[in-house]
Amino acid sequence: MTSARILVVDDEPDIRGLVQEILEEEGYAVTTAESAAAAREARRGQRPDVVLLDIWMPDLDGISLLREWNERGGLPCPVIMMSGHGTVETAVEATRLGAYDFVEKPISLAKLLLTVERALEASRLRRENEGLRSQLLVPLDPVATSRATQALRTQTERLAAHDTWILVQGEAGTDTEALARWLHERSARREAPFVTVRPGSIAPEHAAIALFGSDDGGTVQYGLIEQANGGTLFLDEVADLDPELQLRLASVFAQRALLRCGGHEAVPVDLRVIASTTQDLEAAVQAGRFREDLYYQIRVVPLLVPPLRERIEDIPELLRYYADFFANRDKLPYRLFPVAVQNRLRNHPWPGNLRELRNLVQRLLILGNAPEVALEEVELALGQAAPARANAARPLDVDFALPLREAREQFERAYLLHQLGEAGGSVGRLAKAVGMERTHLYRKLKDLGIDPKLAGRED
């Protein structure tokens, strides 16, 4: 796997050489720069994981360079300042601009190594927390009573030990992202980034820069692909990629290098790609909606996640697992699910899969008071949660006393929220379902106060 990349910026050759030698002996990949201009060029070549930045340099001081990076898209990684003549004011200013730590010269190599290790660990934990804030991990470990789940766990454990690219296929609500994270955390790349790309949640006009980054000569912006360098790139609902992005991705995957928007030099990338889809990609290829070369690049190993209705033996354990989870996370009262309730839920078709079950458990813990969940509560909750069918009558939640414009907005909001739920949170599929061009749809969602990310998939 790729070693952590460290950029050392110092105008003194002896210090640069010594720090580089020590860090390389520890297994790090080290690049050096003797000035701010050289540091900018080094950042353009490849994204570092940590920067060691000297304060006093001839062309531009380190504080000014730190401020420049901070103002042009934020710091790319932890920055450790180095100085032999630092003051309290300098340290305070560096910290205010986002520096991770401050190391004094003459440098204690033991302290330097410890600070670098801590900076890398802090960066890794920050990435994990960002992912976990929006992701409830699928409990593969404690829930393995059904044959389907046992078979899935056996297959995923085997795949986690290899660097194979995987296409995860499953219905909406089956937590395919959580499964991808599970694979990443048990792989040799576990210490490297896990980056999720949701094509349907990126505005088309920003998609290329979001994925591939940009380089306008003065400012470098790292895209999601480059942010995943050395780790795992998860393409959530890969079928939502438009033809241009499919073409560029296929080129990146074939060459193992990308070209930033506006850039002129290819940047090497080392990735494990895990993609997911709720659609029939093979049919999409045959219909000309998905590139054949990209399909075979990501489908080295197909992994099918069974729907919840095919592993109903797991439901009692899942009920206990999620009741415990929400009781601990949200400080809700823990409630028991009696056998009668378990049997009723085992016979539910679960069109929303794990997402539907998870939401049901959370709702029952919030609304109920008794130590045990009653069957009547479950029937009521399932009735409220029943998905609308295309041919079923659905009452409109519109206040007919409103003026026409406000009533129309109220209807449009309810309509788009419903369709967004039917589309599993995918704006790409929503655009197709309602017959709107994506740019206009994003504008409409914004005007109506609908955030697609908050209604996004958890599959």
Predicted confidence (pLDDT) per residue in 18-30, tens digit: 999 999 999 999 9
245 vs 218, residue with greater confidence: 245
Give the residue among 179, 166, 105 at the shortest CA–CA distance from 354.
179
- CATH superfamily to which 5-132 belongs: Response regulator (3.40.50.2300)
What pLDDT score was predicted for residue 131?
Answer: 54
Weakest-pLDDT range from 119-128, 138-147, 317-326, 355-364:
138-147
User: Is the pLDDT at 60 greater than 70, yes or no?
Assistant: yes
Whether 35 contacts 58, CB under 8 Å: yes
What pLDDT score was predicted for residue 8?
Answer: 94
- Mean pLDDT computed over every residue of the chain: 84
Predicted confidence (pLDDT) per residue in 127-137, tens digit: 666 555 444 44
Where in the chain are the domains? 5-132, 160-304, 308-385, 393-459
- Residue 79's φ and ψ, nearest 5 degrees, are -120, 125
**Residues linked to residue 258 through DSSP beta bridges, in sequence order:** 267
Give the residue among 278, 177, 156, 293 at the shortest CA–CA distance from 234.
177
Weakest-pLDDT range from 70-74, 168-172, 268-272, 439-443:
70-74
pTM value? 0.67
User: Is the pLDDT at 142 greater than 50, yes or no?
Assistant: no
What pLDDT score was predicted for residue 74?
Answer: 66
How many Å apart are CA 290 and CA 293, to the nearest integer?
A: 9
What pLDDT score was predicted for residue 129?
Answer: 62
303 vs 43, residue with greater confidence: 303
330 vs 235, residue with greater confidence: 235
How many Å apart are CA 324 and CA 116, to the nearest integer?
A: 38
Instruction: Give the CA distances from residue 224 to residues 128, 189, 377, in Å, rounded to whole numbers and listed in that order.
Output: 15, 17, 44
Beta strands at 220-221 and 214-215: parallel, antiparallel or unpaired: antiparallel
**Residues linked to residue 301 through DSSP beta bridges, in sequence order:** 166
**Are 160-304 and 308-385 equal in CATH topology?**
no
Give the residue among 175, 443, 180, 184 at the shortest CA–CA distance from 321.
175
Predicted confidence (pLDDT) per residue in 367-420, tens digit: 888 999 999 999 998 885 444 443 333 445 555 666 777 777 778 878 888 788
Residue 51 pLDDT grade (very low, low, confident, very high; cuts 50, 70, 90)? very high
Residue 89 pLDDT grade (very low, low, confident, very high; cuts 50, 70, 90)? confident
What pLDDT score was predicted for residue 211?
Answer: 94
What pLDDT score was predicted for residue 448?
Answer: 79
Predicted confidence (pLDDT) per residue in 287-326, tens digit: 999 999 999 999 999 999 999 999 999 999 999 989 998 8
Give the residue among 347, 349, 351, 345 at the shortest CA–CA distance from 373.
345
Q: Does domain 308-385 have CATH number 1.10.287.130?
A: no
Residue 238 pLDDT grade (very low, low, confident, very high; cuts 50, 70, 90)? very high
The CATH class of the 393-459 domain is mainly alpha
160-304 CATH? 3.40.50.300
Give the residue among 405, 455, 376, 394 at the shortest CA–CA distance from 200.
455
Predicted confidence (pLDDT) per residue in 316-348, tens digit: 999 998 999 888 888 899 999 999 999 999 999
Q: Kindly report the length of the chain.
A: 459
